[in-house]
Structure 1
């Protein structure tokens, strides 16, 4: 379904790729909760069980070996998905926000081309934006914040460039 293997650091790209892949296979309802387990006595349980196990297999095969024990014994694909989302994807987790900010501030150009360095930094900013999802009550404050944040990001980009650009 995806070639991205979930680690402790890449939940966002992994979940986006998995969601696309599972949806493309017609099985998205198994992870979003819209296809709960029917009664075993119903005529559709066998098909549900087969398809849910197919999604569970995709999930298990797309996570790193150190993450597999947390989900391997879960009953449904939805249970697995929720566990992973709670462990690695919660928007309000302070520790995740800290980790994302730390990677942004530590990134340097090093041996990367400037365009690749900018792309890597932009990807980290997008991950950080996920954790800083704020609902604004005043559009003017939001505009001021976005402008200031853009300025800070320009400074971070410049600070991470190699000395040859000074």
Structure 2
């Protein structure tokens, strides 16, 4: 039985310029599962000592794995981003470029996510789809928080109350009665 060729395997999460933090988290975990994360970190460097035993085999194996990882990365980014990567030969170069291009300061990322949350409106979506979209933004925002905050229970309670307020504010006007009922409940759900 032959081994399965997974070199064209796809990552379901695509980098789209706004979600670098989450994309890099998903991609690193995927690569850890494939025992290939050392290619993006640069710790698995291209063999460079021609006198080494089996040098040709080592080079071939490195180039094969490096190409697999580059393919996986290309399959998980938008086409316009992928086109920027074509001039790089190593996974580490590709990874570093993406990090430079799409890493925002925490403050800038927080600002953008808060703007996106405020702009999100229920409109004609189902409640489930709307909640999923808002939850995605909340999760990205939570990734920008310091460890001290995420370990502090009163902060977590306050954050969840804030999420409920944001969700209720963005609900379609058809839900005004439900919104009022929830706001006047004690304790708040």
Same fold by TM-score greater than 0.5: yes
1-side partners of 2:128 and 2:36: how far apart? 37
User: Structure 2 regions of 5+ residues with no counterpart?
Assistant: 1-9, 177-189
What is the rounded CA distance, in whole Å, between the counterparts of 1:87 and 1:93 in structure 2? Answer: 15
- 1:69 Cα deviation after fit: 4.1
Cα deviation for residue 163 of structure 1 reads: 0.8
Map of 1:130 onto structure 2 = 143
The 1:107/1:22 distance shift into structure 2, 3 A limit, reads: same
One of 154, 172, 178 as aligned partner of 1:162: 172
Q: Following TM superposition, by how much is the alpha carbon of 1:96 offset from its aligned partner in structure 2, in angstroms?
A: 2.6
For the 8 Å contact 2:113–2:137, the answer to whether it is kept is yes
Q: CA deviation at 1:162?
A: 1.0
TM-score calculated relative to the size of structure 2 = 0.72
RMSD: 2.4
2:121 corresponds in structure 1 to: 108
TM-score normalised according to structure 1 size: 0.81
Contact 1:60 1:72 in 2 (8 A): no
Answer yes or no: is the 8 Å Cα contact 1:33–1:78 preserved in 2: yes
Query: Aligned pair count?
Result: 161
Larger Rg: 2
Could you tell me how far apart the structure 2 residues matched to 1:4 and 1:23 are? 16
